[in-house]
Amino acid sequence: MSAVDAIVVSQGTVQRRAIAKAITLLESTRADHRAQADELLTALLPHTGKSLRLGISGVPGVGKSTFIEALGLHLIEQGHRVAVLTIDPSSSVSGGSILGDKTRMEKLSMHEKAYIRPSPSSGTLGGVAEKTREAMLVCEAAGYDIVIVETVGVGQSETAVQGMTDMFVLMQLPNAGDDLQAIKKGVMELADLVVINKADIDADAATRAQAMITSSLRLLGMHGNPNDPHSDKHWQPQVISLSALLGQGVDTFWKAVSEFQTLQTANGLFNQRRQNQSLSWMWERIDAGLKQAFKQNSAVREQLPQLTASVQAGQLAASTAARELLRTWNQR
Ligand SMILES: Nc1nc2c(ncn2[C@@H]2O[C@H](COP(=O)(O)OP(=O)(O)OP(=O)(O)O)[C@@H](O)[C@H]2O)c(=O)[nH]1
């Protein structure tokens, strides 16, 4: 059986093994593996794109894995197949892992209709995001119709996840409304849906947070203009409070996700977002590739220490140094 058939057609353990093998190939840094991986991706591409891609982010301890487990089991009960991929920015910096070490999503990870893959353990955030994006395509080709991409709320990882998913969900704690940390970081603007978790601990605090975040979203202009005749055709970000631990509110959450999907499909924004994502992804990877090639170029490398020192010493304007280096690169 070909690698493509093993992913697309086979089932059970054979399929699982084929997915794992494909993702390992995608994560390899060897040039010959990369060529094989690109060939595989191209062959899989016609079988991709049919899932709902859901991004979920939140600070460590907010309850992401508890929530994803509850949601995943709920969706499987409804006949879905669920893949969960993770982007852990800490793993690319320190090799350590915020998300990885403990056993997460115990029941879901053992379910035959779920596939869970931890974050690639090395590389820049851009590189890690690239692998995750490709792993998502593999899971889609294997028939997972819900792909959840999870990340911790540090660094730029939320932007990366928002840039590869159809809907971006931000998880908050009930006290989040008090200091509005997420708004400061500009992450709230990315959210299509905000979930206040752990409502069971303090229902009043959760209600307060819900009201505060709703009004902040309105201030950010994300609840649309009430006088806009088309405002019913555009999604207005919602705020939902729930308890992942007790599984309360998971159905309300899913109802909101389904409404989002229906509305965005009807107004054309669902496909438009995916098209924009693919193109900006292409350009992001071109930028990264060019930068890497630039830094590896021998003439550039030769010139770099001296120019760096001159810029540091204030003898040369940064922009002049950049232009000189680019000239060197262009003459290669
Ligand atoms: N009371 C209550 N506790 C919760 C709820 N959801 C999660 N928890 C608890 O909060 C703690 C952290 O939950 P996790 O699901 O591990 O959180 P996480 O965001 O995945 O954390 P990291 O893996 O560190 O990023 C655990 O002890 C959970 O049992 C909830 O709705 N209510």
User: CB of 62 closer than 6 A to ligand 1?
Assistant: yes
Which tens digits make up the pLDDT trace of 34-81?
899 999 999 999 999 999 999 999 988 899 999 999 999 999 999 999
Residue 218, pLDDT score: 80
User: CB of 197 closer than 6 A to ligand 1?
Assistant: yes
Residue 13 has pLDDT above 60, yes or no: yes
Evaluate whether 119 touches 132 at the Cβ level (below 8 Å): yes
Q: How far, in Å, is the centroid of ligand 1 from the Cα of 63?
A: 3
User: CB of 66 closer than 6 A to ligand 1?
Assistant: yes
Could you give the percent of the chain with pLDDT greater than 90?
61
Which tens digits make up the pLDDT trace of 254-289?
999 999 999 999 999 999 999 999 999 899 889 988
Q: Using CA positions, which residue lies closest to atom 28 of ligand 1?
A: 63
Q: What is the mean pLDDT of residues 289-294?
A: 92
Domain boundaries, the chain: 49-267, 282-330
Q: What is the mean pLDDT of residues 133-147?
A: 96
**pLDDT mean across residues, the chain:** 88
Q: How far, in Å, is the centroid of ligand 1 from the Cα of 288?
A: 35
**Pocket mutation for ligand 1, best pick of 66, 68, 87, 197 (most atoms within 8 Å of C-beta):** 66
Using alpha carbons, list the distances in angstroms from residue 2 to 8, 40, 152, 209.
10, 10, 36, 52
Q: What is the DSSP letter of 99?
A: S
Q: How far, in Å, is the centroid of ligand 1 from the Cα of 197?
A: 9
Q: How far, in Å, is the centroid of ligand 1 from the Cα of 59?
A: 10
Evaluate whether 195 touches 253 at the Cβ level (below 8 Å): yes
Homologous superfamily (CATH) of 49-267 is: P-loop containing nucleotide triphosphate hydrolases (3.40.50.300)
CA atoms within 13 A on the CB side of 245: 9
Ligand 1 atom closest to Cα of residue 243 = 31
Which three-class secondary structure string do you get for 171-227? EECCCHHHHCHHHHCCCHHHCCEEEECCCCCCHHHHHHHHHHHHHHHHHCCCCCCCC
Instruction: For this complex, say whether ipTM is above 0.95.
Output: yes
Residue 153, pLDDT score: 74
pTM for this prediction: 0.88
What's the pLDDT band for 181 if we cut at 50, 70, 90? low
User: CB of 250 closer than 6 A to ligand 1?
Assistant: no
Q: How far, in Å, is the centroid of ligand 1 from the Cα of 65?
A: 7
Q: How far, in Å, is the centroid of ligand 1 from the Cα of 192?
A: 22
Structure tokens at 280: 């900006």
User: CB of 90 closer than 6 A to ligand 1?
Assistant: no
Better-predicted residue by pLDDT, 75 or 220: 75
Q: Using CA positions, which residue lies closest to atom 13 of ligand 1?
A: 63
Residue 281, pLDDT score: 87
- Tokens 């699982």 correspond to 16
Evaluate whether 116 touches 135 at the Cβ level (below 8 Å): no
